[in-house]
Structure 1
């Protein structure tokens, strides 16, 4: 046994670091001398018996006044730094994996989106039954030439459908023509026209036949049709609805804000410029003027009243001649529809 020391130093070497009290002799020792065989403990034989029996306990407990952590030496500083470094590496690896998955997901969405040829657009427009209008757009659709547009319109059957209010009206016709055009690779727009109320004087179309019935006026809810940007003739408005009596196909519409809105059958619309419609309208007004005079003469003839300086048989010949001329002029002009109203606003959706 070494020289006698105090209870705050190793009884063997005098060290005051990491002190333990031996359970077999009750003395205090440092970590190097804590085991009974390291300090020539009087209870060494008892310790050995316990070792052989497998019931040995720790040879010492922390001495009074020593921190509990003294029973096990602290981990080196380098070990703690390495622990945090490994944790940082793991976190960075997880972040890289998450970013890679996110990029892959974005690329997958882009790939799927690029291969999706049809997209749907819901418009701020309702048909007469209150259903929102949704267009089916073709990503690969392109602007046509005017001839390509005409060929498509003549092959399409939208205008052959019956106009039924409120079940199937102009918005439904316009949506169907749009979707059919896009499906065939022709880019199409949906157009909503708003009108000024009571803006058309229909009395100028009175032909004097006593059967003239002017239309009620512009539709309260406006009108729906289509727009095509042709590469050679520019914007072309098309109406496929069968809203007009006598209409048997698609019509070219003439749409300018502040001007009266009207349409001409496709086979008679040799130009899409508004000036063409103005000339066409004047031709019809000239025809109405001649028809009105013809109807006046016919009424007099039917009542046996001859024109001054003419016999009734001469009037009959005159009426026959004028009737033939009027029929020829009407055939040249084609169907004429009364204008719907003066355009207040044009809303175009693609």
Structure 2
């Protein structure tokens, strides 16, 4: 399997638990609305977290909406794949009743929370120590009640198949571009080699994220999907003066760089800190950190065109014999090279989707 294939598996592993239970109808002591059951499940989940020393989860309206869409769709794969659900940890299960249309009642929430506690996968998600917020959705469709609980936790596995757990610093703050640039250049994440099955893109993105948070810089983990092949992981920072900046510090062994000819992949003098340019429907672009002066995708397109112009002019230079013209072309090429640098990072693929997780 290729390096990128392994990388993709490590970057994006989505686990959705869906179980079917059969039970007879129970005469309820009091009928509740699905919204009331959602609220009771939320309250009781926090009670269970308190019992094991975990913090309460906040109720997030956006996660509520995701959970409700998913449960109302009867756990549709299309709904999952077309929303942020594909990147987030989600418990989902359904209960099918016999003997008539189901109704939810006072005991329903307790029954469902107890069921989750008895199921290892559901319990582990409910009691994730790095979860901070959750959303709930309950939907009655026909003879079945669908339950979904979404957590603000990345559903991503590392190179060993274990869940990625990000360090979050409550005191971290958004940096200026110069602060971010200085931090990334001094950080040694990019000095680690990319090693298949050992240290892959999730490792780099997690390492830079945690280093930034430890330094008081607010960081995001970003998952990217491509049209062909596996996905990728990088980081994002919401700078105070330049807005959102994507940083890719994946080290030697994954990305390739060219300057008219392919550079030696073992060239340890290359700096692997890069600004990334991410836009759905466009190639995943990279510019060396010390050469990036703007961060919108239009800048990357202009940069790419400048490289094409440089290469075209270099070909003319190689075929020219007139001394005066050679001198002029050389001066122009040197001026362009002082802006563009010695090499250009090759794009990784066409972005079909991406998710920024703060």
8 Å contact from structure 2 (residues 256, 346) kept in 1: no
Deviations 1:59-100 (A, max 9, x none): xxxxxxxxxxxxxxxxxxxxxxxxxxxxxxxxxxxxxxxxxx
Q: Which residue of 2 aligns with 1:330?
A: 337
Q: Which has the higher contact order (CA 8 A, sep 6+)?
A: 2
Who wins on radius of gyration, i.e. which is larger?
1
Alignment pair present for 1:187 and 2:218: yes
Deviation at 1:144, TM superposition (A): 1.6
Work out the CA distance in 1 between the residues paired with 2:344 and 2:54: 51
Alignment pair present for 1:223 and 2:264: no
Residue 174 and residue 110 in structure 1: after superposition, are their counterparts in 2 closer, same or farther (change >3 A)?
Answer: closer
Structure 1 segments, 4+ long, off by >6 Å, are: 109-113
Deviation at 1:344, TM superposition (A): 0.4
The match for 1:244 among 243, 247, 255 is 255
Alignment pair present for 1:340 and 2:348: yes
Deviation at 1:268, TM superposition (A): 0.7
Stretches of structure 2 that go unaligned for 5 or more consecutive residues are 1-46, 58-128, 132-152, 258-269
Work out the CA distance in 1 between the residues paired with 2:206 and 2:334: 37
Instruction: Give 3-state SS (helix, strand or coil) of 1:159's partner.
Output: helix
Deviation at 1:317, TM superposition (A): 6.6
Deviation at 1:269, TM superposition (A): 0.4
Alignment pair present for 1:282 and 2:305: yes
Work out the CA distance in 2 between the residues paired with 1:146 and 1:320: 38
Deviations 1:288-308 (A, max 9, x none): 22223334x27xxxxxxxxxx
8 Å contact from structure 2 (residues 226, 351) kept in 1: yes
Residue 111 and residue 224 in structure 1: after superposition, are their counterparts in 2 closer, same or farther (change >3 A)?
Answer: closer
Q: Which residue of 2 aligns with 1:124?
A: 155
Work out the CA distance in 1 between the residues paired with 2:284 and 2:327: 35
**RMSD between aligned alpha carbons?**
3.0
Q: Which residue of 1 aligns with 2:30?
A: none
Instruction: Give 3-state SS (helix, strand or coil) of 2:164's partner.
Output: strand
Q: How does 1:108-187 map to 2 (within 5 A)?
A: 120=130, 123-187=154-218
Residue 224 and residue 328 in structure 1: after superposition, are their counterparts in 2 closer, same or farther (change >3 A)?
Answer: same
Alignment pair present for 1:270 and 2:293: yes
Residue 339 and residue 249 in structure 1: after superposition, are their counterparts in 2 closer, same or farther (change >3 A)?
Answer: closer
Greater CA deviation, 254-263 or 243-252? 243-252
Deviations 1:93-142 (A, max 9, x none): xxxxxxxxxx9xx7xx69999xxxxx736631123443332211112212
Work out the CA distance in 1 between the residues paired with 2:163 and 2:54: 28
Work out the CA distance in 2 between the residues paired with 1:190 and 1:248: 21
Q: How does 1:250-329 map to 2 (within 5 A)?
A: 250-295=273-318, 297=319, 314-315=321-322, 318-319=325-326, 322-323=329-330, 325-329=332-336
Instruction: Give 3-state SS (helix, strand or coil) of 1:341's partner.
Output: coil
Compute the TM-score of the two structures, normalised by the length of structure 1: 0.52
8 Å contact from structure 2 (residues 255, 346) kept in 1: no
Residue 224 and residue 316 in structure 1: after superposition, are their counterparts in 2 closer, same or farther (change >3 A)?
Answer: same
Compute the TM-score of the two structures, normalised by the length of structure 2: 0.51
Work out the CA distance in 2 between the residues paired with 1:111 and 1:287: 56
Work out the CA distance in 1 between the residues paired with 2:163 and 2:56: 27
8 Å contact from structure 2 (residues 285, 348) kept in 1: yes
Deviation at 1:239, TM superposition (A): 0.5
Q: Which residue of 1 aligns with 2:244?
A: 235
